[in-house]
């Protein structure tokens, strides 16, 4: 009888402790409240939206105001104090650091060339690929080569070249891969990742570039309808070797990027940027969550998780 009473008492105490623990957790979650404002890179936008959704499941009193407009807008807004932090998809310039830019990497992705699936030479293009020097000729030479010339033949099938009109990490990263800066890229300027993808989709002879998550459909993980990701002949041997053949779906190219089979650039780290280290506890808490628990959502969203060493460094820099 005494043993039964003791067991019942212990069970009651454990239940009370569990209830108290749950209440403490709910109380801690309730303490995080307010709005986090974010602007910037199209490249990071889908990932940050996903992070915000998951974070709000834990902290329902937190709100997010997230807008995409290019990395240039993100860092300008951050340095002007217009947002809590900017999303930036390129390296941070020394001049920006001199103005007080504080930044941490949060994930990684890449920029890829995109063509129209209706190109009359499509099969030959994807079989042979385009070399880095060929890509340079497309975006950097005043006299654009023809599709036929790039494939080693003769003919006058024009290439319609598209680039970004907004200051953005994708264009800067793509230009860096080709050895130049965004302002050196030639072509028809189009605003934003969705706009550039749409321009190529409507032009059978078009070529452009997109961040990975705008080159592939989020549901099917195949290239966006009407387009294809152009294979890059990295070893310039005139064909796409098995080791280079990873453009057919998003999972395959993400794996290639993580294994360094796709070069850097155009693969790159993506950053959160503030004017000085964040002072609001809410912002710091969100950033810390992104670097820890939030990393588990990265792969399924079509990005690459940070290496452990980079996470440790970023957390130390955050200092909280």
pLDDT tens profile 235-262: 999 999 999 999 999 999 999 999 999 9
Please give the distance of CA 116 from its chain centroid, rounded to a whole number. 22
Q: Where in the chain is the domain with CATH 3.40.190.10?
A: 2-109+268-318, 110-258
Please give the distance of CA 276 from its chain centroid, rounded to a whole number. 23
Helix H, strand E, coil C: the string for 136-164 is: HHHHHCCCCCCHHHHCCCCCCCCCEEEEE
At 189, is the secondary structure helix, strand, or coil? strand
Architecture of domain 2-109+268-318 in this structure: 3-Layer(aba) Sandwich (3.40)
Max distance between CA atoms of the chain, in angstroms, equals 98
Would the pLDDT of 164 be above 50? Answer: yes
Q: CB-based contacts of 23: which residues, under 8 Å, 6+ apart?
A: none
User: Two tokens at 314?
Assistant: 């970023």
pLDDT tens profile 22-74: 343 344 445 899 999 999 999 999 999 999 999 999 999 999 999 999 999 99
* CATH T-level fold of 110-258: D-Maltodextrin-Binding Protein; domain 2 (3.40.190)
pLDDT tens profile 116-158: 999 999 999 999 999 999 999 999 999 999 999 999 999 999 9
What is the distance between the terminal CA atoms of the chain, rounded to a whole angstrom? 52
């Amino acid at each position: 009888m005494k043993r039964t009473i003791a067991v019942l008492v212990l069970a009651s105490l454990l239940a009370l402790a569990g209830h108290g623990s749950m209440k403490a957790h709910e109380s801690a979650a309730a303490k995080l409240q307010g709005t986090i404002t974010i602007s910037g890179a199209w490249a990071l936008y889908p990932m940050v939206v996903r992070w915000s959704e998951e974070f709000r499941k834990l902290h329902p009193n937190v709100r997010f105001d997230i807008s995409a407009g290019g990395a240039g807008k993100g860092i300008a807004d951050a340095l002007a104090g217009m947002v809590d932090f900017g999303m930036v998809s390129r390296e941070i310039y020394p001049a920006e650091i001199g103005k007080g830019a504080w930044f941490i990497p949060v994930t990684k992705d890449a920029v890829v060339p995109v063509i129209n699936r209706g190109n009359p030479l499509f099969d030959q293009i994807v079989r042979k690929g385009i070399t880095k020097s060929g890509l340079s000729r497309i975006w950097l030479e005043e006299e654009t080569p023809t599709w036929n010339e790039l494939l080693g033949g003769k003919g006058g099938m024009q290439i319609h070249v598209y680039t970004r009109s907004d200051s953005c990490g994708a264009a800067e990263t793509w230009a860096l891969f080709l050895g130049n800066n965004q302002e050196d890229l030639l072509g028809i300027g189009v605003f934003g990742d969705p706009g550039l993808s749409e321009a190529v989709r409507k032009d059978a002879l078009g070529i452009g570039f997109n961040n990975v998550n705008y080159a592939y459909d989020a549901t099917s993980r195949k290239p966006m309808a009407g387009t294809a990701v152009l294979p890059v002949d990295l070893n310039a041997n005139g064909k796409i070797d098995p080791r280079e053949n990873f453009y057919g779906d998003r999972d395959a190219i993400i794996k290639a990027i993580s294994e360094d089979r796709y070069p850097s650039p155009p693969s790159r780290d993506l950053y959160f940027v503030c004017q000085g280290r964040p002072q609001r506890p809410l912002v710091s808490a969100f950033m810390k969550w992104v670097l820890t628990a939030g990393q588990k959502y990265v792969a399924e969203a079509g990005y690459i998780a940070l290496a452990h060493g980079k996470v440790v460094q970023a957390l130390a820099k955050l200092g909280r």
